[in-house]
Structure 1
Amino acid sequence: MTEILRPIGVIFRALDSIANIEFQDIDLSRRQYLYLTRICEQPGIILEQLADLVKVDKTTVTRALQKLEKKGLIVRKNLPGDRKSKQIFPTESAQKIYPQLQREEAYSNQTALKGLSADEQSQLESLLNRVAENVDDDWHQVKKGYQRKY
């Protein structure tokens, strides 16, 4: 059996650990950089969309957002016509550090893909997107309380 998930996990943990260390100087920790990047990319995103995008539960995202809000990096505004949901926007401070987040992501991508041809990179991206799609339905079902049968 091919072991694809273990190397993916190793890659994720290594790059996440590096980013957590490198972003200490701008007071971002424990994946806060990930949430902030997505908010800068999609200003006005709502919590449920952000949680789905990064595949974590809403409670985890809520805690991270509270910390980012306390640091003055995001603001939440009521969604027009829906008092329950709030849109999340980056502040000016967040916009100033966003280029650093982009540079780190680009560097990490470049490092991870070193030695792969453009065709191999494209093929890898396509295959990983398919793998992510395959897992997405299970993630949603388990989050709703269903048990997978294996």
Structure 2
Amino acid sequence: MNADVPHRSAPSHATDRPGDTSPFALGLLLRRAHWRAAAVMSEALRPFGIELRHFAVLIALVNQGPTMQRDLAAATGTDKAAIMRVVDDLERKGLAVRKAVPGDRRARAVEITPEGVELFDAAHVTADSLAERLVDGLEPGESEQLTALLTRLAHPADGAS
């Protein structure tokens, strides 16, 4: 063992179990929570024939209006090739369209269609009761507290990443 490295009597193994003090524990817990939330939201979207990756793009289009594909990739944390496939899927389903950008012959902006807005709204209604399952075990007020804490973690005030 290197003399410069402090010796630990009991090495900490990263887990996602309650009480883990590993420096990786928070990230692992967030990953497990994401998987659980994604499963519930996927269940809500299944009747509409779309996946979370499609819905993430619809969210961006509803919030931002017509958006360049490269900006959709950034907004959804998706690479350029994957965002192209998602937009292709949405176009085939009639939920979004690509339109020419005035002044740039090569650029295309993606825009949600009226059918896409209708699906977006209907999915929210369906997801409402399912989302409640995610927070069933929390005490009154804890759901709001969790949302506030995750919002601060995901969107730090100082812009740090």
- Long gaps (5+) in structure 2: 1-21
Moved more, 13-22 or 110-119: 110-119
Q: CA contact under 8 A between 1:76 and 1:89: conserved in structure 2?
A: yes
Structure 1 residue 34 corresponds to structure 2 residue 56: yes
1:74 match:
96
Q: CA contact under 8 A between 2:96 and 2:111: conserved in structure 1?
A: yes
Aligned length: 134
- Long gaps (5+) in structure 1: 136-150
> Between Structure 1 and Structure 2, which shows a larger proportion of helix residues?
1
Q: Percent identity, aligned pairs only?
A: 18
Over 3 Å counting, the alpha-carbon distance change for 1:77 and 1:18 in structure 2 is same
1:8 match:
30
Over 3 Å counting, the alpha-carbon distance change for 1:120 and 1:21 in structure 2 is closer
Q: CA contact under 8 A between 2:96 and 2:110: conserved in structure 1?
A: yes
Give the aligned CA root-mean-square deviation in angstroms.
2.8
Over 3 Å counting, the alpha-carbon distance change for 1:126 and 1:105 in structure 2 is farther
Report the CA distance between 1:111 and its aligned residue: 3.9
**Cα distance per residue 1:106-136 (max 9 Å; x no partner):** 96389449432756643442133229x544x
Q: Distance in 1 between matches of 2:98 and 2:31?
A: 32
Q: Distance in 1 between matches of 2:38 and 2:45?
A: 10
1:129 match:
155
Matching of residues 1-150 of structure 1 within 5 Å = 1-2=22-23, 3-29=25-51, 31-103=53-125, 104=127, 108=131, 111-112=134-135, 114-115=138-139, 116=142, 118=144, 121-130=147-156, 134-135=160-161
- The residue matched to 2:154 in structure 1 has which SS? helix
* AA in 2 matched with 1:37: I
- The residue matched to 1:33 in structure 2 has which SS? helix
Q: TM-score, normalised by structure 2?
A: 0.69
